[in-house]
Structures are given as structure tokens and as C-alpha cells.
Amino acid sequence: MRMTGKLDYLEMPATGGTLGRVKAFYSAVFSWSFTDYGPTYSAFAEGLDGGFQGDGQDAPVKPLPVLYSERLEETLTAVENAGGTIVKPIFSFPGGPMRFHFVDPAGNEMAVWGE
């Protein structure tokens, strides 16, 4: 069950043409299966849902934890009020309705998505 503020997704980079190799690796080692969303994104549902981003322009530099929020705009305001920095304002993305990215006071980038 999705709940506001709980980890919901993990997005990881797979740039430089590695998306196919990454999928093959996790399929061979852990029997993961994938759902492709276009040629540069592939999602998995293996305990914690997540995906590999192969588009260098959109891929995170490090793994990107993604939180869920029932009230996306309110959560964005709360992040700002608590001292977080919004690095990508609310935008739509393939596979889901809307999300935003922020950096916490320690410099960790995270995202929040909502329906």
C-alpha cells in the first residue's frame, strides 16, 4: 500500500548503452523480469519497485530513491519550508503522472511522485 513519505521506488542509471546488459545481468543472476517504457527505460518489480534509466540526459548520476505523496504540491512546499532545495519542479514522466526532485540538507537527491 502506498503511503505519503514512504520509499516507493528506486531509479538507477544504465547509460552508455548498458541498459540491455544490465537487464540481462539481473535476469540471469536473480531472475528479474522487466517492463520497458520506450527504448531507454526499463522497470522492475522485485520487492521494491524500480527502474533503470538509459537516457544519459535523464538518468540520475547515482541511484535515486523515490518517495510517494498523496498531496504532491503540499509535499513540495513542505520540502522547501524544511530547508530542502527543489532541483526539478513538478513534471509529468512516462509510467506515472507527476513528480519533483529535491536535494536534502546533506546533499542527497531524492524524488517524490504522486497520482
Instruction: Write out pLDDT tens, residues 46-99.
Output: 989 999 999 988 888 899 999 999 999 999 999 999 999 999 999 998 777 999
Arithmetic mean of pLDDT, 9-22: 93
Cell of 97: 503522472
pLDDT in the model for residue 93: 85
Domain carrying residue 107: 7-114
Domain membership flag for residue 46: yes
Domain membership flag for residue 52: yes
Number of domains in the chain: 1
Domain membership flag for residue 1: no
Q: pTM of the predicted model, to two decimals?
A: 0.84
Domain membership flag for residue 62: yes
Domain membership flag for residue 76: yes
Domain membership flag for residue 2: no
CATH of the domain at 97: 3.10.180.10
pLDDT at 11 over 80: yes
DSSP string spanning the chain?
Answer: ---TTSEEEEEEE-TTTTHHHHHHHHHHHH---EEESSTTEEEEEESEEEEEE--TTT--SS-EEEEE-SSHHHHHHHHHHTT-EEEEEEEEETTEEEEEEEE-TTS-EEEEEE-
Query: Confidence class of residue 3 from pLDDT cuts 50, 70 and 90?
Result: very high
Domain membership flag for residue 75: yes
**What's the rounded Cα separation, in Å, for the pair 33 and 20?**
12
Domain membership flag for residue 32: yes
